[in-house]
Amino acid sequence: AQKITQTQPGMFVQEKEAVTLDCTYDTSDQSYGLFWYKQPSSGEMIFLIYQGSYDEQNATEGRYSLNFQKARKSANLVISASQLGDSAMYFCAMREGYNAGNMLTFGGGTRLMVKP
């Protein structure tokens, strides 16, 4: 079974509007971490936001927020006020277990395209 599932291969959003990128995960661990990364065409992985499994509040970082629904095992990324520079691939990833050095498992990614 896939550990991280991103069901939207591609998404369009109008500039200045908000967009939600979906991510569901599967783990039997009680302690885990969820990450979102942005990958522009240059290939670098840009860290956006992190949510720990024990965090009670949804994580926010500027225009990025994470809609964490633990019971549903979903960790959707919300980007507010989309900008043209937001056009990129977005990956959801999970670290299982408490150890910050454990490997990350990535979802298949969503390509976001922002329309002017």
Choice from 1, 28, 44, 57 touching another protein (CB under 8 A) = 44
Cα-Cα-Cα-Cα torsion 99, 34, 54, 60, nearest 10 degrees, comes to 130
Q: Interface with another protein includes 57 (CB under 8 A)? A: no
Nearer to another protein, 63 or 108 (CB): 108
Q: Which residues make Cβ contacts (< 8 Å) with residue 106, sequence separation at least 6?
A: 4, 91, 92, 93
DSSP string, 43-56: ---EEEEEEETT--
Q: Interface with another protein includes 24 (CB under 8 A)? A: no
Q: Interface with another protein includes 101 (CB under 8 A)? A: yes
Footprint on residues 67-86 left by another protein (CB under 8 A): none
**Residue 62 Cβ vs another protein, minimum distance, rounded to whole Å:** 15
